[in-house]
Each structure stands twice: as structure tokens, then as C-alpha cells.
Amino acid sequence: MAPVLTYTSFDGHRRIASGSLQANALAVKQAIESNAAASVLTFDDRTGQTVEVDTRGSDQQVAARFATREPAAEARGRGRPRLGVIAREVTLLPRHWDWLATQPGGASVALRKLVEAARRANGDKDRQRRAQERAYHFMLALAGDLPGYEEATRALFANDAQRFGDLIAGWPADLREHASQLAFGGLGGEEAPSE
């Protein structure tokens, strides 16, 4: 099951929308129409990166442009079913190829097992790193000029939630809450690793 994609839009330091890209696009359109000088940014909650939102046209046109679409079912052809396997080139040293050649099932099976073992072993660290990067990108865009930004960034990458919270306590409420949620609250559509 694919993770639910969520987005959050800010007008300056004030959150104006959170949810689907369609809901955010309509909120951004309304904010820009009510204040042409509005400084509106929309963020992908999975990455913390800004997303371009095209608000040209009527509300109905904007809503239609960002409506979620169900993926069309692929027509099943003849032959083996697609299993999602992607062929790519891998460059290894001769000793690595020699070791892979001795593994049961061949090189592909051995590599898949190694990758899955590494994913399980490092899953928590990987999720933490993605959360830190997500919060960092968001903070860089909206909080770079706020007091305590540099120290808060250090606390973020030190994984010190208490110090991070103390350092951003004076920031505008919407910005502070969203940065904390991205960094330590699990916002971003992370799924638990499948066994």
C-alpha cells in the first residue's frame, strides 16, 4: 500500500493548509488572491522540499489539475507476470563476483538478501536521517532568519528533541509545531519496514 502523500502550505510563518495537494493548491490560490504580496510556499511533508503549485485558472480548474487520480489497471499481457524487478548494472571487484557465484540461488538472490538484511538492520537510522533531512529542508526555507536557527539545526542533527524544542520555543507557533512534527513526530508518510 502506497503511503498517503500530504503537503503543508505556509503564508509567511502562518500555516494555511495541510493535507492533499489539491486542498493546498486551493488554499494557496485563495491566499494569493486575497493578498497579492503574499509569500506562500507549499512543502511536501515526505521530503520537506518546496513544491511548485500552479494556481492559474478558476477554483474548479485548479481543483481538477490537482485531483488525485487512481492508477489505471494495467492490461495483463502474456508471459511471466512482472514482479517489480529492475535490471541494473552493478560494479564489483572480482573477489565479490567470486563470492556471489558460490551463493545458493545466484548473484541476484544473494544481493537481494544482503540489501534486505541491511534495510532491516539500519531501518531506524535511515528513518531518523530522513526525518532530520525533511525538517532541515523545511527550516532552511522558512526559519533560516529566525533566532536560534543554527543552534536548532545542530540540535536536530544531534537528535536532541528537548534542546531542539527549547531553541525553537520563540518561533511562530505554526512554524514551530510543523518543524517539530517533521523532525520528531513521524510526519512524512514513513512506513514501517516490511518483513
Provide the pLDDT confidence category of residue 35 given band limits of 50, 70 and 90: confident
Q: 169 and 122: one domain?
A: yes
Q: Which helix (H) or strand (E) holds 9?
A: strand 7-11
What integer pLDDT is reported at residue 158 of this predicted model? Answer: 96
Average pLDDT of every residue of the chain: 88
Domain count, the chain: 2
Q: Is the dihedral of CA 142, 56, 63, 32 positive or negative?
A: positive
Do 152 and 139 contact (CB within 8 A), yes or no? yes
What integer pLDDT is reported at residue 192 of this predicted model? Answer: 44
For 73-129, what is each residue's pLDDT tens digit?
A: 566 667 666 677 788 888 999 999 999 899 998 888 899 999 999 988 988 899 999
Q: In the predicted model, is pLDDT for residue 191 greater than 70?
A: no
Q: Give a yes or no: residue 77 inside a domain.
A: no
What integer pLDDT is reported at residue 193 of this predicted model? Answer: 43
Taking residues 174-182, what's their average pLDDT? 96
Q: In the predicted model, is pLDDT for residue 4 greater than 80?
A: no
Q: In the predicted model, is pLDDT for residue 188 greater than 90?
A: no
Query: Please, how many CA atoms are within 13 Å of residue 102, restricted to the half-sphere of its CB?
Result: 5
> Residue 129 is part of which domain span?
94-184
Q: 33 and 109: one domain?
A: no
Tell me the β-bridge partners of 15.
Answer: 10
| Greater model confidence, 163 or 36 | 163
Q: 54 and 98: one domain?
A: no
Residue 108 to residue 102: CA distance in whole angstroms = 12
Q: Give a yes or no: residue 109 inside a domain.
A: yes
- Which residue, of 25, 50, 65, is where some domain finishes? 65
Which of 26-30, 67-71, 86-90, 180-184 has the lowest average pLDDT? 67-71
Q: Give a yes or no: residue 124 inside a domain.
A: yes
- Which residue, of 49, 65, 81, is where some domain finishes? 65
Do 180 and 165 contact (CB within 8 A), yes or no? yes
